[in-house]
Structure 1
Amino acid sequence: MTLLFLFIRERLAWLGFFLFIVVMLNVLFMLDIGLNSVSIWYVNSSLFVSFTLFFSWRYVVEVGKLKDFLGNMNSQMDELHKMNLTLSPFQTIYFREMEDIFFVKNSELNQAKVQLQEYADELLAWVHEVKAPLTAINLMLEHVDDVALRQKLEHEWLRLHLLVDQQLHQTRLHSIEKDNYLTAVELKSIVYKEIRALKAWCMEKGIGFEIDTLSGTVMTDGKWLAFIVRQILSNAIKYSPENTEITIFTEIDATGATRLHIQDVGIGILQEDLPRIFQKSYTGTIGRESTQSTGMGLYLANNAAQKIGIRIDVQSKAGEGSLFTLRFPLQNEYTKLKGR
């Protein structure tokens, strides 16, 4: 029905001209006495029937061509030449113009892709170059005798290290399908390693960890899982008051899936902010009060989690802390993920 209305709108000039001819003939029949013997209704009926048949024929032909043309638009433009498409002279001109536009835009798109890939490669190279002096600085910190000074330097080093690490994974995120490797991973080793990496920050704030029933293995990518846990832990530490505890535990839900819970007693998240915490660069109402908040950590963690089949759920209330839950895929879900 939509195509019929479009066809009628496209042919309004035809309809207008036909009605003009009919009106003119009727006026002539009224003014010319010599035509009184001819039935005006017979002429009008003949004209309307003839025009209706012609209009219907053109509708069937042109709509058929349109459907054929649109149905093949997903093919490459050079392949369309080989197809048996009957185009009108004007349609041929449109088609040639579209070809030229597509060619130019494809060239620009390919050039942009090349430039983006070059930028990503340069950025990755820069990140790897920065990691070398960071490692050297971390080793030198062990020789600082002043404990208070060493702890401050270790905290600042950790902040810089997390920013570089975040940039590294952000650059790699678009090609995670080529980079990930799903295998059996022990949750305890991943969580303990990330806690040790954040030790300096935790000691400075007096943050402790209560770990309960943290056991079992899951099918996932160990490197990307570590990155996801790192982002959630760093958020928990950042927004937790001093001398508090972060609780980490696992459970098996009703579907048989493993869930990893990370719970803090920090400032929490406002209810109006919850639906948007995984959006890029969104810091939220509370995050705007902190100059350290970039809004990228949870965005990158959630994107990486989706690509390796992990679902992140959040329960939080302002002033009462947050509970982040990582749900790992079941065996059949893992098989589907691997077959992508």
Structure 2
Amino acid sequence: MTIRDFIKEKRAYIVCHLLVAVMTILMLAALNPAGGKAFAAVIGTIYVVGALIPLAMEFKKKYAFYQTLVSSFDRLDRKNLIAEMVSEPDFYEGALLHDILKTSNKACLEEINQYKNKHDEYREYIEMWVHEIKTPISSSKLIAQNNRSEATDSMAEELDAIENYVEQALFYARSSAVEKDYLIKETSLEKPVLAAIKRNAQQLIGTGMSVATDDLEKTVYTDTKWLEFMLHQIILNSLKYANEQDAHLKFTAAERDNRCILAVTDNGLGIPANELPRIFDKGFTGTNGRLRGKSTGMGLYICRRLCEKLGIAISAESIPGSGTTLYLVFPKSSMTDII
């Protein structure tokens, strides 16, 4: 609140008192008391000063309150808590505003808690469903393995795809609360990389994609399970967009300053330059995804969310027609710094 705003708000009050002061002076001058016009002017001045003093006191109180309110609001990250940061003022309008803000904040928090509870219930249901659905999937895969034929081999491939989508649903549901399920510990990059390669071995062999690793004995602080899932998604992407001949995939680790970089490089279709900044966006499939018709646009999006939670930087570079490299950058620090 500025002095101009205050005067504008009180203009009716000021005009009325000025009119009364002028009329008082004119009446006293007309009555011609002892002292004449000077006496009338003194009386009028006293009246105006008496009217302005409470006005100035009111401005001082309101100015202090609104300045504190605005500055506190600007500093707050959670704007709905503004009523908790400002003391209740001793003038009516301010007290009313403070009470409304406090009541509004309480209602807002209650509604947020309701949605949070619903979200948690839904996430718990998804997790339960995923665990339940894994049993018939595993049973179906076992049946297919015990009754090998061209049809059952094809069925096993489709079951692997279903299992991947189910796992995506589980990790996506958990990605908003990773801190409840992760275990940060010192680990060699070789372990999760080899586990992800082994998991996808059948598809890699079926596609004819060769795999190479180099210098993976580097140590990082991360959650092995979540990292293995991310590597699994990256490998699946490489498989989706692999060349029909001489396809290969390479995992390389290197240390730079205070970080460790894991690079996953393929020689697939590559990504157009105008689409590269969007590959981590939710639901983005791109030109290659539409051509091959195998993309949901969720794999790399979930990877990015998990990386944000784990303190890992993820980026990509690509040359259309030559391949793509995805980088996972781990901070070389203690796990307490990551947490």
TM-score band, normalised by the shorter chain? 0.7 to 0.9
In structure 1, the partner of 2:338 is 337
Tell me what 1:12 maps to: 8
Q: Structure 2, unaligned stretches of length 5 or more?
A: none
Give the letter aligned to residue 187 of structure 1: L
Match of 1:138? 141
Deviates more, 1:34-43 or 1:63-72: 34-43
The equivalent of 1:60 in structure 2 is 60
Q: Which residue of 2 aligns with 1:198?
A: 200
3-state SS of paired residue (1:93)? helix
Q: 1:143, CA displacement in angstroms?
A: 2.0
Query: Which letter does structure 2 place at the counterpart of 1:234?
Result: L
Equivalences for 1:188-227 in 2 at 5 Å?
A: 188-227=190-229
SS in 2 for 1:219: strand
Specify whether residues 149 and 11 from structure 1 end up closer, same or farther in structure 2 by C-alpha distance, changes over 3 A only. farther
Cα separation, 2, equivalents of 1:335 and 1:93? 46
Against the structure 1 CA distance between its residues 193 and 285, is the aligned structure 2 distance closer, same or farther, given a 3 Å change threshold?
A: same
Percent identical residues: 24
The residue type paired with residue 240 of structure 1 is A
CA distance in 2, matches of 1:21, 1:185: 80
Cα 1:289–1:41 shift into 2, 3 Å: farther
1:263-286 per-residue CA deviation (whole Å, 9 max, x = no partner) reads 111222222222222222222343
Alignment of 1:29-40 (within 5 A): 34=30, 38=37
Partner of 1:158: 160
Moved more, 117-126 or 58-67: 58-67
* Alpha-carbon contact 1:69-1:85 (below 8 Å) kept: no
Q: 1:224-303 maps to which residues of 2 (within 5 A)?
A: 224-243=226-245, 244-253=247-256, 255-303=257-305
The 1:115–1:187 alpha-carbon spacing in structure 2 relative to 1, beyond 3 Å, is same
Matched, 1:118 2:114: no
Cα distance between partner residues in 2 of 1:218 and 1:151: 38
Residue 288 of structure 1 and its aligned partner are, at CA, apart by 3.4
SS across alignment from 1:312: strand
**8 Å CA contact retained: 2:29, 2:37:** no
Does the aligned pair in 2 maintain the 1:158–1:201 contact within 8 Å?
no
Please list, as runs of the form range in 1=range in 2, the aligned pairs for 1:62-81 lying within 5 A after superposition: 62-67=62-67, 71=72
Query: Quick one: structure 1 residues 191 and 54, their matched pair in 2 at CA, closer, same or farther if it must change by over 3 Å?
Result: same
Equivalent residue number for residue 316 of structure 1: 318
CA distance in 2, matches of 1:191, 1:277: 22
Deviates more, 1:31-40 or 1:235-244: 31-40
Q: Give, in angstroms, the shift of residue 213 of structure 1.
A: 2.6
Assess, with a 3 A threshold, how the Cα gap between structure 1 residues 33 and 214 changes in structure 2: closer, same or farther.
closer
2:91 alignment partner in structure 1: 88
Indicate the residue corresponding to 1:167 in structure 2. 169
Mark the CA change 1:86 to 1:21 in structure 2 (over 3 Å): closer, same or farther: closer
SS at match of 1:109: helix
After superposition, give the CA deviation of every residue in 1:140-183 in whole Å (9 maximum; x if it has no partner).
Answer: 2222332x434422321111111011111111112211211111
Deviation at 1:184, TM superposition (A): 1.9
Structure 1 residues 153, 298: closer, same or farther in 2, change over 3 A? same
SS state at 1:288 partner: helix
Amino acid aligned to 1:335: T
Inter-partner Cα distance in structure 2 for 1:322 and 1:48: 80
Contact 2:88 2:95 in 1 (8 A): no
Distance 1:35 1:15 in 2: 30
Aligned residue pairs total: 328
1:109 equivalent to 2:105? Answer: no
1:268·1:319 contact (CA, 8 Å) conserved in 2? yes
Separation in 1, partners of 2:107, 2:218 = 54
1:275-317 superposed Cα distances (whole Å, 9 cap, x missing partner): 2222222223433334321111111111111211211121113
Aligned-pair CA distance for 1:38: 4.1
Q: Does the 8 Å contact 2:279/2:286 carry over to 1?
A: yes
Alignment partners' CA distance in 1, 2:4 and 2:289 = 56
- Please say which of residues 238-247 and 65-74 is displaced more in the overlay: 65-74
What are structure 1's unaligned runs of at least 5 residues?
A: none
- Give the AA of the match of 1:296: M
CA distance in 2, matches of 1:13, 1:310: 55
Change (3 A) 1:144 1:50: same
Closer, same or farther: CA 38–155 of 1 in aligned 2, 3 Å:
farther
Distance 1:221 1:280 in 2: 23
Indicate how the Cα distance of structure 1 residues 317 and 43 shifts in structure 2: closer, same or farther if over 3 A, else same.
farther
